[in-house]
Amino acid sequence: MLENAILVTGAGRRIGHHLALRLHQEGYTVLAHYRTHTTEIQALQDIGIATIQASLSDSQAILLFVEALKKQCSSFRALIHNASSFEATSEDLTVAAQQYEQFFNVHMMAPFLINQGLSALLVGEDDNPADIIHITDINVENPTPRFDIYGTTKAGLHNMTLALAKKFAPLIKVNAVAPGPVLFTEQHSVAVRQQMLDETLLAKEGGAEPVYLAVKSLLDNPFITGASIPVDGGRRLSKR
Ligand SMILES: NC(=O)c1ccc[n+]([C@@H]2O[C@H](COP(=O)([O-])OP(=O)(O)OC[C@H]3O[C@@H](n4cnc5c(N)ncnc54)[C@H](OP(=O)(O)O)[C@@H]3O)[C@@H](O)[C@H]2O)c1
């Protein structure tokens, strides 16, 4: 049974994998969640990081996941909600309806049920509050119309940050980290990448480490709650 673990959801690749690895290197007990068993998950397992598999695609599966977490871990230092689906909204309404359901479940339902289900097990260090950290997106304040379903469900997660900060105080801090262009995806064409870089004050793709540094700063700071840290190289100021 793990104690005082940090749960990182969506740790099977990219930012989630980096967060799990860096928190482990920092000395935290990490529980890395994944949906697909990837070489990155194998690498985490090989260095002794505990893992747990689940699809967060419907309420039943999420509720089962909460029960499985309680069996694997007696207390949590932090919950980091990183799992996410990122796709442009389909022109086909039937497909858009499926996307809405999928994005709602992973961006809003899963964080809510996991936070609510595990809140009694969250314990901070040295009399300080424990942490819930939602990985959102700078799109929540200045949305991109082509990604409106993705953006609106991330905005719901942003609002949940504020609601749960009130609800869980003073024992748990609830904050968001809102990345901008940190790691491009296949959804970004060469032209879109260039436009994003042109709109980013610090003029580069930031990488996963700045996201980790924002997460770590929240874990280290006992007096921040209900806040959102943009990790976007300034893009929110100039994004069209
Ligand atoms: N990359 C960026 O520049 C950027 C910008 C803004 C915000 N963000 C935010 O930062 C976070 C990490 O970004 P990323 O680019 O590393 O994300 P990513 O490459 O899309 O990875 C997302 C992870 O979430 C998992 N996931 C998706 N749907 C799931 C479901 N229904 N059930 C369980 N797991 C599921 C995926 O598992 P599978 O491997 O099984 O698909 C994957 O491991 C996300 O919250 C994203 O919104 C990133």
The yes-or-no verdict on residue 71 having pLDDT over 80 is yes
- Predicted confidence (pLDDT) per residue in 164-179, tens digit: 999 999 999 999 999 9
Nearest CA to ligand 1 atom 36: 10
pTM: 0.98
pLDDT at 185: 87
Q: Is 82 in the pocket of ligand 1 (CB under 6 A)?
A: yes
- Tell me, yes or no, if 28 is annotated catalytic: no
Report the CATH number that the domain containing residue 97 is assigned in CATH. 3.40.50.720
Tokens 């959804």 locate to: 187
> If DSSP codes are grouped into helix, strand and coil, which group holds residue 194?
helix
Are the CB atoms for 41 and 48 separated by under 8 Å?
Answer: no
Domain count, the chain: 1
Distance 237 CA to ligand 1 centre (A): 24
Q: Please return the burial class of 92, using the count of CB atoms within 10 Å of its CB with bins 0-12, 13-18 and 19+.
A: exposed
Range(s) of the domain holding residue 76:
5-238
Q: What would the pLDDT profile of 103-153 be if each residue is shown by its tens digit?
A: 999 999 999 999 999 999 999 999 999 999 999 999 999 999 999 999 999
Give the integer Cα–Cα distance in Å for 235 and 230: 9
Q: Using a 6 Å cutoff on CB, does residue 139 contact ligand 1?
A: no
Name the closest-CA residue to atom 47, ligand 1.
Answer: 84
